[in-house]
Structures are given as C-alpha cells and as structure tokens.
Amino acid sequence: MTTHAKTPEGWYPDPEGHPQQLRWWDGSQWTQQTHPAQQVPRQSQPDPAKVQRQVQQQAGITPSAQGGGTLFTEPILVVNQKTKLVELTNEYSVMDQAGNTLGSVVQIGQSALKKIARFVYSLDQYMTHKLEIRDAYGQPQMMLTRPRKFMKSRVIVERADGQPVGEIVQQNVIGKINFAMMADGRQVGAIKAENWRAWNFAIVDHADNEVARITKTWEGLAKTMFTTADNYVLQIHYQLPEPLLSLVVATALTVDTALKQDARGFG
C-alpha cells in the first residue's frame, strides 16, 4: 500500500514487506512501532458480482478508479450489515466497489441487559453505543461513541489511540434529519437526510458543497421485512482533507446506529 500524508494515522501493512506485521503510520511518516497481524488477516470474501451489482444497479453509481485499498483511500465504500433475524449487536462488513474486504464495524461493550433491552426498541436509543472501526487486518482504526440521549444525539469520533477527531451532532428532531460535523469547535461539514425517512444522505463541506453521498440499497422486499440488515454505499466525490475525511468515513460506517435510528424514532 502506498501511504501518503493525507492518509490518517493508523496500523497498515508493513511497507518493508513483512507479511505478518503491521507498522504505525503517524499521519506523515512511518514509525518504529510494529504489531503482529492476525493469523487470518481478512474475513471471508463476499461475492464480488453481488457487491458490484449493489454499487452499480441498486445505488446507481458508475464504477470509478480503484483507490489505495484502505478504508480511507477508496472512493466507494460498500457497508453491509450482517443479516440476523433479531438485531442484538450491530456488526457490519466494509468492502470496496470490487468486493474486496476493507474492514469491519463492530459494536463493543454490549452487556447482557443491553442486548435484552434491544428487543424493546424504544429503549435502544437511550443507551450508550460504542462502535469500533477495524481495518481488514482486524486492527482498530477509529472508535465511535454515541452517548445515551433523549431527543438529539451526538457521536464522538476518536482515533484508535484515543486522539479526538470530532463530533457528529444532531441538529433537529422534526422533518428531514440534519447532522453537523464538528472539529475543534468549528463546523467542517454536515450530513443531510434527503427525505423524512432518512434513507439517503448528502454530505457537504463547511461551504455547503456536496462532497459525498450515502445511498441505501435493498436486498429485496421479503428479506427487508424479516431481517434488520441495512446496506449502504458511500461515494466520496474527491480527495477530502482531514478531519473531514475521517468524519465522512465514520458517518458512513455508523449511519444506522448513529444516525438512522433517530429518523426511525422521530421521522
């Protein structure tokens, strides 16, 4: 992988060629910190044809040039929730437009009581949610915390080492849901639901220019009725600066838990 200064800090495959080793990129250069990669570095690969169909036909996105092969360097991210009849723990797989696994999103810190409470859907929104974004090697890249809330929610975004990235803050509870992306006390962008059910989102920068788009994709009516799986495609229109890039990726990878639940409750 070619890593450059725009790539966020994190664990990446060792550029020195050690296949079972990761090396820490501090945002501008490689460091001496290394970490053994997991023995099984990648999850089971999805059907590439199915992922390509999801991107091109369901989301209506024209294929683009491949990126750098990581969560932060691909122009298109496909985010699919692992299907289960009852949603007790959120878990998502993340792929590029060709169907290659880029990482995963896993909800952590779920107590038995909290899992039981998820059966009673109205209680779910009042609980704190923690999501860990991992790369294809299982190494944490970002941590997202949505504190318990009553009406408006917010999501705190941090790097794997605890360094703050910013926050995603809900702006309203009536009508089309709107979230502000905040960093260092200033607004760097926003996420705007395009309809009251919050199925699709436009992501804009501080000047209200669209920089990315999240599109909900469907597995079919029968499957949608009997499962809680949610599938999305993120399209980033051009190379974004930090911290906007990390906040956009964080938004796309947690849109159901962090954002869409609120639209269900208040739409």
Give the three-class secondary structure for 52. Answer: helix
Rounded to 5 degrees, φ, ψ at 2 are: -90, 115
Residue 164 has pLDDT above 60, yes or no: yes
Confirm if 182 and 188 have CB atoms less than 8 A apart. Answer: yes
Question: Is the Cα torsion angle 124, 128, 130, 131 positive or negative in sign?
Answer: positive
On average, the pLDDT of the chain sits at 76
Q: Is the pTM of this model over 0.75?
A: no
- The class (CATH top level) of 43-266 is mainly beta
Query: Quick one: which H or E segment has residue 155?
Result: strand 154-159
Give 51-103 pLDDT, tens digit per residue.
888 888 777 888 888 888 899 999 999 988 765 433 445 578 899 999 898 99
- Domain segments of the chain as ranges: 1-37, 43-266
| HEC letters along 102-133 | EEEEEEECCCHHHHHHCCCHHHHCCCCEEEEE
